[in-house]
Amino acid sequence: MGGGSLGAAFIAVALGIVTLTALSFAPPATGAFAMHGIELGMTASEVVRRFDAGPAGRWSEAPGCAGPSIEWSRGEAAPATAPVSARFEFHQGLLMAARVRVTPEDPSARGARLETSAQFVLAREARDDGSSTIVLLARGCPEHEAEVEQLLSGSSARR
CA distance 36 to 53: 7
Tell me, rounded to whole angstroms, the distance of Cα 123 from its chain centroid: 13
Structure confidence by residue, pLDDT tens digits, 109-143 = 999 999 989 899 999 999 999 999 999 999 988 88
Q: What is the pTM of this model?
A: 0.74
Structure confidence by residue, pLDDT tens digits, 39-88 = 999 999 999 999 988 788 999 998 766 678 999 999 888 888 889 999 99
CA distance 132 to 75: 18
Domain ranges of the chain: 3-153
